[in-house]
Structure 1
Amino acid sequence: MRPHPFVRVFAPRAIAVFGAGERESPGDLILRNVVAGGFEGPIHVVGEAAELPAGVRRCASLAELEGEVDLAIVAAPPASIPEIVGACAERHVAGAVIAASASGSVGPGEPDPDAAAALLAAARGGVRLLGPNSVGLARPDARLNATFTSGSASPGSIGLVSQSGALCATALDWAAAHRIGFSAVVSLGDALDVDFGEVLEYLALDPATKSVLLYVETLRAARPFLSGLRLAARLKPVVVVKAGRHGAGADGAPPASSDDAFDAALARAGAVRVESMDRMFAAARLLATPRPVSGNRLAVVTNARGPGLLAADRADELGVVVAPLADATRTALDALVPESARSNPLDLLGDADPARYRSAVELCLGDPNVDAVLAVLAPYARSLPAETADAVVAASRGGSKPIVACWMGEELVRSARARFVEARLPDFSSPEAAVDAFALLASHARNQRLLRQVPGPLAPDAIPHVDRARELVRAALARGHDRLTAAELRRLLAAVGIRDRDAAGQRVTGTELFVRVGRDALFGPVIRFGRASASGPGGEAVVALPPLDTAIIQTLVRTSRIASVFTAPGGMTAPEVAAFERTLWGLSAIVSELPELRELEIAPVVVSGDEVYASGARASVAPAVPEAGRYGHMAIHPYPTDVGERWRLPGGDTITVRPIRPEDAEMEASFVRNLSENARHFRFMIALRELTREMLIRFTQIDYDRELALVALVEREGKETQIAVARYARTDPETAHVAIVVADAWQGRGIGARLFRMLIAAARARGITRLEGEVLHENTSALALMERLGFSIRRDPESPDLCLIELGLAGR
């Protein structure tokens, strides 16, 4: 498997610094930080240097240097940057950090001429640019501090990626005071080239990074951001701080995207959002706790009524459920507390000793209505804070549910908090902060469930409805209309199972909701729904990014902050909830397949029995952007239903080919496990018996926008069995890396060739113009297949055991 292209940038063998001629300039500061950080490779200064530290070599130009240079630090005047980047391209430098002083005035639109020329020069030579307006890059475990901040990062396991250089400097100072270390610190600056998506992809696969923190101000494109974010969040916790939630965007411009759409995108990506830097670091540590949360039902165990009520109030504000305890739990509490106290919050009274705490916590952890326990202690005169902390820690051992602690006060509970730190139980000083922490854990668990859902192909009976809706919308556009008429609206809504309330012939009563489908400037189609008010849409809305499937819709409907609306006490029966969920699924299919549908509002939506009615609606349409492709209007690429085949082999076996899905993980693991040692060696080029968890997630939970894996299947004993897989992954917008492996028993029957031709066709249809890869020289059968498919083959000059394959798709 190829190393990630950023390896040379994040772990350079040699560094060249441009623009260090003035004392205290960014270039001079970066040079001194690189030296002070103990970087072990050659350090070169190109041009003048205000001061040449010991061991640093100076030269007049990059061309004079001997040996490889992986990373360039460019702090030179803006006009000189294109020439410097061009020189880096000629020397095959992997990356260049464009420091703050190196950028001209770059507004929210197109880059200035110098920046544009630098980008063009970099693209010609494969140089990746970090910046402009970047304060640099730090990789503490590699002893790399190529920043011009006053502080340095200690080694650790947190990856920090920020658009703001000021926040990077502040975070380093804050983290040093709190003894927090980093695996990497990346200042993106204006992100002219390298942006969040690619850095997230690198950190996702970086073994030194255990969690990722992002500071986001603006995004240029949703697809690359969500692609990298979804990959990273599948493998490790990702915490996001987003600035500009309420105010204007850059230079006073309005925000490009709504804040609730950004939240919905984070939810589908499996990340969590916090409001401040200190909460960002606290969240990273909290999410690293060994016991994950499975739901949002909290039991509060306390020795004082007041803190318990504060916790319950905060839980209600955040949508956390302080659940009633099960009857069996209440009965078991008889020996601990009086009947009046056997509720949630559970008041153990002021004389509660460690044994009472331990028993109560253990009972609550065993309650089927509880997902986690918040243990609160107020330091009464008779309290034993440290001993009670030990009891709570003991109660946590061997269990699968998390405990959050809140030992209130300071001096009297200091030693107790040390017990919690040692046991890796999160501890907070106030009930509200503790509930905030649990809400974060519950939100992360919910978002992870959303992330794992990949909406499958449309059901066959849904396709005619989508086709009818497409014909209707395109006919309206052909007549020059930008809004659908009342008659067209009725037909459009009928396509997703919504009946016209006025045409029902009788007074229809039921729960009144609203649904709005809009087009966000960044994230594309957004679906909002909630309870309708007397004057139309009102109250809090649930926000979702399509495509949606049943599992995603049920999670949104039943775990949102307005989940009570969709319950019997809220006025809806189970059949009514199911009917509304079917409607949301139909609307998701329509907006996913019809880029021409720009806006649709239905208010009110009346749900009665198992039918859904519309009492008022409006819709706007506009021509689709031709070059955007079928799903170019969406931030999350749906499951590619357009790729797949079935054929019969001469021996009678039927082969089915389709894109891989997350639920194929066990099948993929078994496939690799059952390959011969030789076949695994040819595919992975390392000694490998089993796919690691990270590899399995990476291979099956893929982003269909930038990669595709086609699995060939046969049916054995009523179950799909994988016999081959071919995949590509984009390395840039026009190039993709390819690989294929066929099970030993199925080789030589034409399966690999047919599968690879399908992969080539799919790549071409998605705008990829070049395929490349590596094949071991001893793998003669694979090389013969590549030659038959038209690939050029040459020996790798750096690795004689490898052959490099390449196929141009333009004009084929």
Structure 2
Amino acid sequence: MLKPLKPTTDRAYDVFRSEHQPLKALFEPETVAVIGASNRPNSVGRTLMWNLIRNPFGGTVFPVNPKHPNVFGIKTYPNVAAIPEPVDLAIIATPASTVPMLVSECAAAGVKTAIIISAGFRETGEPGLALEQRIREHLRHSSMRVLGPNCLGLMNPPRGINATFASAIAKPGNVGFISQSGALCTAVLDWSFPEDVGFSAFISIGSMLDISWGDLIYYLGDDPHTKSIVIYMESIGDAHAFMSAAREVALTKPIILIKAGRTEEAAKAATSHTGTLAGSDAVLEAAFRRCGVLRVNRISELFNMAEVLGKRQCRPQGPNLTIITNAGGPGVLATDALVATGGKLADLSGETLKQLSACLPLHWSYNNPIDILGDADPQRYAQALEIAIQDPNSDGLLVILTPQAMTDPTRTAETLKETVEQLQSTPMCHKPILASWMGDAEIAQGEKVLNHSQIPTYRYPDSAARLFNLMWQYSYNLGGIYETPTLPKDWDEGGPDRPIAQRLIASARDSGRTLLTEAESKQLLAAYGIPVVDTRVATTADEAVAVAEAMGYPVVLKLYSKTVTHKTDVGGVYLNLAGAESVRQAFEAIAQNLKAALTDMPCDPDNPDFLGVTVQPMVERDGGYELIVGSSIDPQFGPILLFGPGGQMIDVFQDRAIALPPLNTTLARRMIEQTQVYKALQGIRGRPPVDFSALEHLLVKFSQLVIEQRWIKEIDINPLLIQPNWAAVKRGHRLGTNAPKSPHLLSPLLALDARIVLHSAETQEVDFPRLAIRPYPAHYTSRWTAPNGTAVKIRPIRPEDEPLIVQFHKTLSEQSVYLRYFHLMTLSHRVAHDRLTRICFIDYDREMALVADCKNLATGDHEILGVGRLSKLHGVPEAEFALLVTDAFQGQGLGTELLQRLVQIGRDEGLTAIHAEILAENKAMQRVCEKVGFVLHRHPDEVDATLRLDVGVSSSQTSSPEVEGL
């Protein structure tokens, strides 16, 4: 019932919300002060001035230098305060020691933004860090934003702004480029001119004293000129801010990144397998994948991806490439590169082969690569392309040309250009088309034709094939993030037993322990619905025999200790014990083995190493797979998750996948797919596949455990046993004829062993690393009863709600749609998956959407009755809200209830104001706003509603929230 809001509905980036963009003055200044402007040849101050005045941008430049009356004939000013007009942007190019004072003067003068070109800060050590700290102190009480220090500056080519000391301004285009290296900026700039690649923004970010990756990604995400973002990164800085910005923007604008430092030493190994395997670079890789950023490994790939994105090539929807070539060798090289980097040759259909045979010479390859032979003329290339692009098995095309005696590279390029332009109007244009014109001078003109026609060209076909795979990997990663997940079946049946988990952790901490026993660890897992093998403690040999008799043979005995981490290392595990005598012997052997292993180690009499054994049924592992699921803490990203093959061979295979919590079922599947063991889990040598749904749901529950129980420092489930066909285990001979048929033992998954380490007693909760991704805010869930008696649960939206949102939109009248979106919108458009991903898959740091969920008493199905959304504005502590209630439930007070809860959430999140725009004829929504306290400003067609918030004030209308699962 409100106007569509850019951050939450259709992402109308063509409507640039500049009034809320804090960096507008940086990129679109009307007045620029150059502090340190100079006439001295080859000086930075002179170059900055010259670059600004020789590229007219419609603004005014004020040189600041107390020692010179003018620069380039333009009057200078002794300081910023003397400039007669308000200054949007100040560029500082003076020695580092003078910068803190100059920043203070700029802040006092009301300057909106500044660029510190000067070097000599943190890169010089402690003295430089001290200078940065002084600058931060001056900024603390100012709204001025600062880019740098130690940077090249920035360009806004569409506006003609060159606020750098580079030799030339970039061509206007639609690629936003951000680099932490000024030298790489100049290299990219030189490369871009012959490749005909233009930029919407060209930014050297420097040391990120103030403006960070997140700030710039948000700005470029809002900028209508920017269609894609390319980043060269040396350090991530504020990881949480980067993740939040990248996740929001990457859905609509590709972000391509190269991160230097891949070969740095990984963090010191922790004692858990997860800590050992999760190196910092692997965590970065997982973070980039999770927020939709494509990471490349070579500068050449960064340049190539910039070219593809700059030329608006669509992304492939699969890994299958079709290659057209006039020479066999280059086609083979491209195939090798394609397959080696994860792609596939498209399996051409019979119809495609038939059509190609009808127009190609007798001796063509009859396969993919499509070798159209060395005498191929432009027409033959065109015919092959027109046929190949229509093959349903192909996701993209690579056209290779080698200059041979009968080859005309220029005419072929022109024909290819015409053919591609004709195909633009067909559905097949959704497949990317790449070209490799091999050679040098002979193909230069043809290459130029292709570049100008927006067809990316590469001298080497293997480079083009690798690029296609990068494009596909980007599509694959993005699809994984925004593919609709499902909830575990038991998710709404009470959720995890948090009190039990908290008591187990508190008990260990109260006794001064950081290591949970195996029995405690399994109890904690079971509290979160993770199946564990029946585990009972025995403190004597007789007790162990009694437990084994009751449990049924064969059994397993393991060391029970509060201090020993890895039981197998000290001879603390005995398997397949078939009788009472073998149990007694194993009990005594475990005690003796431990004593021998700890002979030279001091023992604490108040915390003995040997407390007895645990007795467990012997679960037959033939045909099953041993896996590991674990978590440890990364200093930048907080808890991380690990999955891979487990058991004793974990350190041999080094096959693992890392992800960031929280997970949903789709993200869990993507995590599984990243490992080599995934191929085995799909079924090999006649074995059926495992139950992937059960494994996905286990990973989702495990990720919830990790993000909720923050006192856990490390946790491993190893081994986690999964069976291809668990029905066979139900036969008594595997578990023992006397074994009780425990539900846990009949699960397709079983945690056979577990290890949990807590943070030390000295750790404070404020010391826990911040979660990289904000988890589901269950504390905003509460109950509400409508006047007609309908019981409603009001809770934050989740990705799994997409099917319910589809059904919700089917209940809306055209009038409701018009009042909400300010125009009519077809149902098919409203429920399109690409649109609903932006509705349901939200970053809870940036948006908070509440749904009114009720259970249909007739069908037992859940239904959504209304949706309220709060969307934070960039750079200011304010938000916009949107609200929509199903027609059948309007007039029941649900809109008022949703808005009151959104207002309280705004207070809880530290907002200072909430805004909305309402159609003038939407009187009902205006009454709701007035009832909640909004002030309305009426215009002929619209009404602006604003509520100023007193942060921290509780709302009496908001029900007490209940804690529950996702």
CA distance in 2, matches of 1:36, 1:227: 38
CA distance in 2, matches of 1:719, 1:358: 54
CA distance in 2, matches of 1:700, 1:724: 11
Partner of 1:636: 773
* Farther-moved stretch of structure 1 (590-599 vs 109-118): 109-118
Q: Structure 1 residue 701: deviation in Å?
A: 4.7
Q: Which residue of 282, 292, 310 corresponds with 1:270?
A: 292
Q: Percent identity?
A: 30
Partner of 1:179: 196
CA distance in 1, matches of 2:714, 2:788: 52
* Residue aligned with 1:185, SS: strand
* Residue aligned with 1:157, SS: strand
Q: Conserved in 2, the CA contact under 8 Å of 1:565 and 1:572?
A: no
CA distance in 1, matches of 2:533, 2:383: 55
Partner of 2:844: 704
Q: Which residue of 313, 321, 343 corresponds with 1:298?
A: 321
Partner of 1:517: 631
CA shift in 2, pair 1:567/1:352, >3 Å: farther
- Answering whether residue 870 of structure 2 is matched by residue 727 of structure 1, we say yes
Partner of 1:592: 707
Partner of 2:509: 477
Partner of 1:429: 459
Q: Structure 1 residue 71: deviation in Å?
A: 1.1
Q: Conserved in 1, the CA contact under 8 Å of 2:227 and 2:254?
A: yes
- Answering whether residue 757 of structure 2 is matched by residue 620 of structure 1, we say yes
* Residue aligned with 1:586, SS: helix
User: Unaligned stretches of 5+ in structure 1?
Assistant: 251-255, 682-686
Q: Which residue of 14, 39, 52 corresponds with 1:34?
A: 52
- Answering whether residue 106 of structure 2 is matched by residue 88 of structure 1, we say yes
CA distance in 1, matches of 2:211, 2:229: 17
Q: Structure 1 residue 283: deviation in Å?
A: 0.2
Partner of 2:432: 402
Structure with the higher strand share, 1 or 2? 1
- Answering whether residue 147 of structure 2 is matched by residue 125 of structure 1, we say no
Report the residue type matching 2:787 in the other structure: P
User: Unaligned stretches of 5+ in structure 2?
Assistant: 1-16, 268-277, 535-555, 557-574, 576-615, 727-747, 955-966
Partner of 1:546: 661
Q: Conserved in 1, the CA contact under 8 Å of 2:38 and 2:46?
A: yes
* Residue aligned with 1:427, SS: coil
Q: Structure 1 residue 414: deviation in Å?
A: 5.0
CA distance in 2, matches of 1:550, 1:650: 37
Report the residue type matching 1:13 in the other structure: E
Task: Give the TM-score taking structure 1 as reference length.
Answer: 0.83
CA distance in 2, matches of 1:94, 1:208: 23
CA distance in 1, matches of 2:178, 2:915: 30
Q: Conserved in 2, the CA contact under 8 Å of 1:160 and 1:213?
A: yes
Report the residue type matching 2:713 in the other structure: R
Report the residue type matching 1:294 in the other structure: Q
Report the residue type matching 2:520 in the other structure: E
Within 5 Å, give how 1:732-747 maps onto structure 2: 735-741=877-883
CA distance in 1, matches of 2:685, 2:118: 55
CA distance in 2, matches of 1:267, 1:570: 32
CA distance in 1, matches of 2:864, 2:619: 53
Q: Structure 1 residue 138: deviation in Å?
A: 1.6
Report the residue type matching 2:291 in the other structure: A
Q: Conserved in 1, the CA contact under 8 Å of 2:188 and 2:303?
A: no
Q: Conserved in 2, the CA contact under 8 Å of 1:726 and 1:759?
A: yes
Report the residue type matching 2:234 in the other structure: E
Q: Structure 1 residue 78: deviation in Å?
A: 4.3
Within 5 Å, give how 1:400-799 maps onto structure 2: 400-410=430-440, 413-414=443-444, 417=447, 420-421=450-451, 424-453=454-483, 459-461=491-493, 463-464=495-496, 468-494=500-526, 495-499=529-533, 503-509=616-622, 510-531=624-645, 535-537=649-651, 538-558=653-673, 563-569=678-684, 573-609=688-724, 610=726, 611-614=748-751, 617-622=754-759, 626-627=765-766, 633-651=770-788, 657-661=794-798, 663=802, 674-675=815-816, 701-711=841-851, 723=866, 725-729=868-872, 735-741=877-883, 750-766=893-909, 768=910, 770-773=912-915
Partner of 1:253: none
Partner of 2:951: 809
What's the C-alpha RMSD, in Å, of the aligned pairs? 4.5
Report the residue type matching 1:650 in the other structure: P
* Farther-moved stretch of structure 1 (465-474 vs 215-224): 465-474
* Residue aligned with 2:849, SS: strand
* Residue aligned with 2:690, SS: helix
Q: Conserved in 2, the CA contact under 8 Å of 1:270 and 1:447?
A: yes
CA distance in 2, matches of 1:422, 1:665: 44
* Residue aligned with 2:850, SS: strand
Q: Which residue of 374, 396, 399 corresponds with 1:372?
A: 396
* Residue aligned with 1:241, SS: strand
List per-residue Cα deviations over 1:756-795 (Å, max 9, x = no partner): 33223334444x263454779999998887776577x799
Partner of 2:302: 280
Partner of 1:134: 151
Size of the aligned set, in residue pairs, is 793
CA shift in 2, pair 1:363/1:276, >3 Å: same
Q: Conserved in 1, the CA contact under 8 Å of 2:915 and 2:944?
A: no
Q: Structure 1 residue 210: deviation in Å?
A: 1.4
CA distance in 2, matches of 1:38, 1:19: 20
* Residue aligned with 1:112, SS: helix
Q: Conserved in 1, the CA contact under 8 Å of 2:933 and 2:947?
A: no
Q: Structure 1 residue 216: deviation in Å?
A: 0.8
Report the residue type matching 2:779 in the other structure: D
* Farther-moved stretch of structure 1 (396-405 vs 194-203): 396-405
CA shift in 2, pair 1:587/1:173, >3 Å: same
CA shift in 2, pair 1:512/1:652, >3 Å: closer
* Residue aligned with 1:45, SS: strand
Q: Structure 1 residue 529: deviation in Å?
A: 2.8
